């Protein structure tokens, strides 16, 4: 009971912190709108020049909904763990975090939880509702939304663990920007956030199926849109199962790597 209180205290602090920067939220929302307009014009041009309205099982509207929601999920999942960690190592602040009577990984996860909660309600949900109104029910609403929330939570955990696996690399290399860039690029491309996985050539897609990145964007979206694979109970369970396995595997791997890396930390001076 006491420990839950401690964790929710961190969540509350995160909520308050992210509510502070209201202007930032407005500007980000505005930027997203322009970005979505670009995505719209680009794919409209693509489908117009192609002649057929269904490509690889995706219509123009499917693609749009997929990409818009992927952007919303991107905003929801965005964490700056790699930056925060390298900054706190450079300033020596990390020692304070390590001295806290709480595991560092747990502490980081819960301090971010408030930000996620806010961005779910302030960016993801409004986007989702707007998309629903505009497309007039192209998104089926029912049990799939519940499964989507479960799936999204696991996507959050997987994404967090990927970050926590990559962040300690900075301890060894002293290069934050490059590492972060490589991670971001690979995750966004191979998870289907830039182009839906349905468009990938078969050979590449078969490889991508065995990677954890798909579980971050493609799986929650497929479940939400009730597309191929998620429209049967078996397919749904296998997707959620895959996500769960990745959660466990990445958590264990992240823990092991962090425990090894933390011994490498050298903080100069006080």
Partner 1 sequence: MEQTKTLKKKRGLLFYISIYRKILIQDLKSKMSYRADFIISNFGMIISNMSGFVTFMILFHNFPSINGWNYYHMLFLYGFSLIALTPVQCFFDNNWNLRFMVRSGDFIRYCFRPINVFFYFISEVFDVKGLGQFAFGLGTFIYAWCHLGIPVTIVTVSQAVIFLLTASLFMIAIMNAAAATCFWIINSGYVMVIMNRFRDFAKYPASIYNKVFKFIFSFIIPIAFVAYYPSLVFITPDNVPLLTWLSPLIGAFFFYLSYKFWMLGVRRYDFTGS
Note the residues at the interface with partner 1 (CB under 8 A): 21, 23-24, 27-28, 30-31, 34-35, 37-38, 41-42, 44-46, 48-50, 55-56, 173-175, 177-182, 184-186, 188-189, 194-195, 199-201, 204
Phi (first) and psi of residue 202, to 5 degrees = -55, -40
Which helix or strand (DSSP H or E) is residue 62 part of?
helix 60-77
We find the least distance from the C-beta atom of residue 3 to partner 1, in angstroms, to be 33
Cβ(214)–Cβ(197) under 8 Å?
A: yes
Closest to 61 (Cα-Cα) out of 149, 141, 142, 139: 139
User: C-beta of 65: minimal distance to partner 1 in Å?
Assistant: 18
* Whole-number Å distance between alpha carbons of 228 and 235: 8
CB nearer partner 1, residue 13 or residue 208:
208
Q: Supply the minimum distance, in Å, between the C-beta of residue 74 and partner 1.
A: 11
Minimal distance, residue 45 CB to partner 1, in Å? 4
Q: Is there a contact between 73 and 217 (Cβ–Cβ < 8 Å)?
A: yes
CB of 224 to partner 1, least distance (A): 23
CB of 131 to partner 1, least distance (A): 20
3-state secondary structure of 54: strand
Nearer to partner 1, 158 or 193 (CB): 193
**151 vs 227 by CB, closer to partner 1:** 227
Give 64 or 236: the residue with its C-beta nearer to partner 1: 64
Nearer to partner 1, 152 or 187 (CB): 187
Phi and psi, residue 59, nearest 5°? -85, 175
Distant-in-sequence, close-in-space partners of 246: CB < 8 Å, separation ≥ 6: 154, 158, 212, 215
Which one, of 113, 114, 125, lies nearest residue 29 by Cα?
Answer: 125
- 106/188 with CB nearer partner 1: 188
Contact 180/270 with Cβ under 8 angstroms? Answer: no
Reduced to 3 states (helix: H, G, I; strand: E, B; else coil), residue 142 is: coil
d(CA 72, CA 55): 24
Task: Kindly state the tokens that stand for 109.
Answer: 């996860």
Q: How far is the CB of 260 from partner 1 (least distance, A)?
A: 19
126 vs 178, which CB is nearer to partner 1?
A: 178
Q: Name the maximum alpha-carbon separation found in the chain.
A: 66
């Amino acid at each position: 009971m006491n420990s839950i209180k401690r964790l929710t205290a961190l969540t509350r602090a995160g909520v308050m912190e992210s509510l502070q920067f209201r202007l930032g939220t407005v500007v980000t929302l505005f930027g997203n709108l322009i970005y979505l307009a670009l995505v719209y014009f680009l794919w409209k041009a693509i489908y117009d020049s192609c002649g057929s309205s269904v490509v690889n099982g995706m219509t123009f509207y499917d693609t749009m909904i997929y990409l818009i929601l992927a952007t919303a999920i991107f905003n929801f999942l965005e964490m700056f763990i790699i930056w925060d960690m390298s900054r706190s190592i450079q300033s020596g602040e990390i020692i304070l975090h390590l001295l806290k009577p709480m595991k560092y990984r747990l502490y980081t996860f819960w301090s971010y939880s408030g930000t996620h909660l806010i961005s779910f309600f302030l960016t993801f949900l409004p986007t989702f509702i707007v998309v629903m109104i505009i497309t007039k029910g192209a998104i089926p609403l029912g049990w799939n939304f519940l499964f989507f929330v479960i799936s999204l939570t696991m996507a959050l955990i997987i994404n967090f663990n990927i970050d926590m696996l990559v962040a300690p690399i900075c301890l060894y290399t002293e290069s934050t920007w490059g590492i972060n860039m490589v991670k971001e690029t690979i995750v966004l491309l191979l998870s289907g956030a830039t182009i839906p996985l349905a468009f990938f050539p078969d050979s590449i897609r078969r490889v991508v199926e065995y990677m954890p990145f798909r579980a971050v964007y493609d799986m929650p979206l497929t479940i939400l849109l009730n597309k191929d694979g998620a429209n049967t109970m078996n397919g749904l369970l296998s997707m959620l199962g895959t996500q769960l396995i990745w959660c466990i595997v990445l958590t264990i791997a992240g823990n092991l790597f962090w425990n090894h890396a933390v011994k490498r930390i050298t903080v100069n001076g006080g």
